[in-house]
Amino acid sequence: MLKKIVPVLISTFLLTACATSPTGRSQLLIMPDTQVDQMGLQSFQTLKSQKPISQNPQYNQLATCVAGAITQSTGGNWEVVVFEDASPNAFALPGNKIGVYTGMITLVGGNQEQLAAVVGHEIGHVLAKHSNERASQDMAVNQGLGMVQAIGNPQSTLGQTGMALLGLGAEYGILKPYSREHESEADIIGMDLMAKAGFDPNQSITLWQKMDQAMQGQQPIEFMSTHPSHSTRIQQLQQHLPQAMALFQQAQATGKQPRCQ
């Protein structure tokens, strides 16, 4: 009897955990948003206590201005911190926290549009609840739920996850491909966010071309990377550019012309 009840309970649980991302992609979200937000807040607080915070007024003004223009359309109060770190990086965490490394500002040369592409991308991860989704996928796989769903619906996202366990395994069959999917989705969301804020979305393509040059061929091959290759990323952004340009023109028509630099 128990063997019959457990699959029913699991199926019911999976159905109630289904969600849709901002781009319309199906997601599995198990963890409560409040719990994920709390994890983001704790991580951000820890980082602030361990990593030096930049006192450069120009860097802080630029990052705050760019993030403020983008988050005006997303709502909520976002904390922005510039960290002293030479690596070209930035991040956003659940709980409305944004971190920008001085190395990223150096890489973009203070260009507000290119920094907006970075910040928009990172905020896209938060809006799409990628942290929750990654944790949920990992929980589902570890608990064997993927295999149960695969039997009932092998064409679903989680069903394909379960089937992947029979082939390449969790490392290359699940976690890394999903991460590339999240990165690509965040690119599109970020491009739309920067365009809605009045930043030229063409500059997002310029940014990744610049990132490609900065890497100097050191990026791992795409199949074994948690990020899309720069060429793939640029191609996807170019395909989405017409839609983003329409949003940019609408923003410009309503007077959204950021002056951050």
Tens of pLDDT, residues 19-63: 787 777 887 788 788 888 888 888 899 889 989 999 999 999 999
pLDDT of the residue at 225: 52
pLDDT of the residue at 226: 57
d(CA 103, CA 87): 5
**Which stretches of the chain drop beneath a pLDDT of 70?**
1-17, 140-178, 216-227
d(CA 122, CA 17): 24
Residue labelled with tokens 């699991």: 10
- Residue (of 130, 166, 123) closest to 28 by Cα position: 130
pLDDT of the residue at 242: 97
pLDDT of the residue at 156: 55
Q: Output the pTM of the full model.
A: 0.79
**Which tokens go with 8?**
């029913």
d(CA 120, CA 11): 35
**Which tokens go with 41?**
């807040």
pLDDT of the residue at 218: 63
Identify whether the C-beta of residue 224 lies closer than 8 Å to the C-beta of residue 172.
yes
Domain ranges for the chain, please list them: 28-253
Tell me which of 122, 133, 183, 185 is the catalytic residue: 122
Residue 122 among the catalytic residues: yes
d(CA 81, CA 60): 7
pLDDT of the residue at 30: 81
On the CB side of 220, CA atoms within 13 Å amount to: 8
pLDDT of the residue at 75: 83
